[in-house]
Structure 1
Amino acid sequence: MPEITGLGIDLVYIPEFIAQMNEPGTQLARAFHPRELRLATARAAATGREPAYHLAGRWAAKEAFIKAWSSEFFGEPPRLADPVDWAQVWVESDAWNRPRLVLEGELAAGVGNVTTHVSISHDGEYATAVVSLERKTHG
């Protein structure tokens, strides 16, 4: 029987996020999977907004995932790798721009067998994401 075991939400102020992405020497771009970067570049060309605008929602999804995963272990010590390899959790989109969360590498191994659900939204200067984790339980 599937059970929701974690829920996370995050809100990103897009102008501040863009400023961080445009800082000389920033490491923030390393947080994104190459597919996310390519998609943001393509969307920027189509919309006239800069790529960082399109990455803000994906950053919110990454943060929401970490919160959802952490909430599974309430009352226990954190189980996150330090530092987190943010590029191992990324958002892909289908042909209709519906998002799906993908987990890779050590992060995926640490999380285990989980189904993720993600919703991303942009409104004005904000991007938000909600992530839930679903695990199969016996019974």
Structure 2
Amino acid sequence: MTKMIFVNLPVADVAKSTAFYEALGFEKNEKFSSPQGSGMIWSEAIHVMLLDHAFYATFTDKKIIDARTTSGVLNCLSFDSKAAVDAIHEAARGAGGSEPRAIEDQGFMYGGAFEDPDGHIWETMWMDPVAVEQGPEAFMEAAAE
């Protein structure tokens, strides 16, 4: 079986959040969806579960944070091009998301962050394949410039 990651996010409005993620290019998986949550596919290995607060609470005894005011996790999506980073930021803004950190071009790395309607932050990045191949020292040198 392929190794996969399921990112579970508490959301206030499942339908609104589902529409937001669909606008970004996620695909709704009907087999993993119900009125209490939507299973959203980013790739074969990455899935996002949008769970209403009551259903999310069945998985933990901890208080559910308000991601608009408290950071609990930063997720990062990688892309094959700068244009793809630009496109998802545009889609996020167009679907009602915000951009807490604008896209920056650091030469070897390009990206920023967008926020969904519930305040969950998604970092975005494209990395120069040559810099990736050269390893962490190349990143440190490029970041220092």
- Structure with higher strand content: 2
Where relative contact order (Cα < 8 A, 6+ residues apart) is larger, the structure is 1
**TM-score above 0.5, yes or no:** no
- Structure with higher helix content: 1
TM range (shorter): under 0.3
